[in-house]
C-alpha cells in the first residue's frame, strides 16, 4: 500500500517532477542508463500487443493509441506509430515532449496531441483509444490515483480496446525509491488495483532477457 510509504502526497509528486526535469532527453535518460535494453523491450512489447491486433471477432482496432508517461516518444516511435494510424502522448515533463517533436521525425506528423500533464490529473478522451499504453510510470502514482486513472482509461477505450501496463514489480510489498520519488509494487498489489478499477485482466507476461540486477518487469493487458 502506498499509504504506508508515501508520507506527503504533494511532496511525492513534486519531487518526481523535479527529478525528471534534470534527466537528459535521450533514450538512455528515459531508461535510467539502460538504453541498451530498448530493442529487447520494444520487440517483446510488439509481440505481446500483436496477439490482440490479429483477425477475429474481438480484435483490437488500430486507429488510435495513447502513450502514457511517453517521455521523448521512445515507445511512440518504435511500437505505436508503426501499428496505429494516430497516437497521442502524455508526459509531465514539457522538455521531453518538446524533444519528441524532433526525435519522432517524419512519422511524428501522426502524433495528434502532446499533453503535458501528470497522470493523476489526466483524463483520456472518452471512447477514443484502441490501446492505452502505460509503461514505467505507475510507480509515480499513489494507489488511489492509479486506481482512479485506470478507471478513466477504461472509459477512454473504444470497443475491444485494451489498457496495457508494463512496469517493474517488487518481490514483496511496496518499495519506495527516494531518488526519483516512485514506488515499486508487488504483483498481487498491482492485480488488486486493476480489479479495483473495474478492469478484467486478459493477459500477463514476464519480460525475458533483461539484466539480472533490475526488477522483474511484467506486462498486463486488460479491459
Residue 63 labeled ligand binder: no
Distance CA 102, CA 109 (A): 10
Residue 69 labeled ligand binder: yes
Residue 119 labeled ligand binder: yes
- Residue 120 has phi, psi (to 5 degrees) of -65, -20
Residue 56 labeled ligand binder: no
Distance CA 152, CA 122 (A): 9
Q: Give yes or no for a contact between 193 and 201, defined as CB atoms under 8 angstroms apart.
A: no
Residue 120 labeled ligand binder: yes
Nearest residue to 41 (alpha-carbon basis) of 139, 109, 147, 32: 32
Cell of 160: 475491444
Residue 93 labeled ligand binder: yes
Residue 92 labeled ligand binder: yes
Distance CA 14, CA 16 (A): 5
Residue numbers belonging to the annotated binding site: 69, 74, 91-93, 119-120, 135
Residue numbers belonging to the annotated binding site for S-adenosyl-L-methionine: 69, 74, 91-93, 119-120, 135
Amino acid at each position: 500500500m502506498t499509504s504506508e510509504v508515501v508520507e506527503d502526497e504533494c511532496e511525492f509528486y513534486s519531487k518526481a517532477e523535479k527529478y525528471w526535469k534534470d534527466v537528459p532527453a535521450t533514450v538512455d535518460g528515459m531508461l535510467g542508463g539502460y538504453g541498451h535494453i530498448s530493442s529487447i523491450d520494444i520487440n517483446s512489447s510488439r509481440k505481446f500487443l500483436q496477439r490482440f491486433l490479429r483477425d477475429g471477432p474481438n480484435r483490437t482496432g488500430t486507429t488510435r493509441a495513447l502513450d502514457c508517461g511517453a517521455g521523448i516518444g521512445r515507445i511512440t516511435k518504435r511500437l505505436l506509430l508503426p501499428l496505429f494510424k494516430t497516437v497521442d502522448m502524455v508526459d509531465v515533463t514539457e522538455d521531453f515532449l518538446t524533444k519528441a517533436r524532433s526525435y519522432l521525425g517524419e512519422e511524428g506528423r501522426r502524433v495528434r496531441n502532446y499533453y503535458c500533464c501528470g497522470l493523476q490529473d489526466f483524463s483520456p478522451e472518452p471512447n477514443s483509444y484502441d490501446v492505452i499504453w502505460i509503461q514505467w510510470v505507475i510507480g509515480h502514482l499513489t494507489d488511489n490515483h492509479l486506481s482512479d486513472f485506470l478507471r478513466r482509461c477504461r472509459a477512454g477505450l473504444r470497443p475491444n480496446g485494451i489498457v496495457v501496463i508494463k512496469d517493474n514489480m517488487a518481490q514483496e510489498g511496496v518499495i519506495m525509491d527516494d531518488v526519483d520519488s516512485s514506488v515499486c509494487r508487488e504483483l498481487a498489489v498491482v492485480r488488486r488495483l486493476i480489479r479495483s478499477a473495474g478492469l478484467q485482466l486478459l493477459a500477463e507476461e514476464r519480460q525475458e532477457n533483461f539484466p539480472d540486477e533490475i526488477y522483474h518487469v511484467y506486462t498486463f493487458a486488460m479491459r
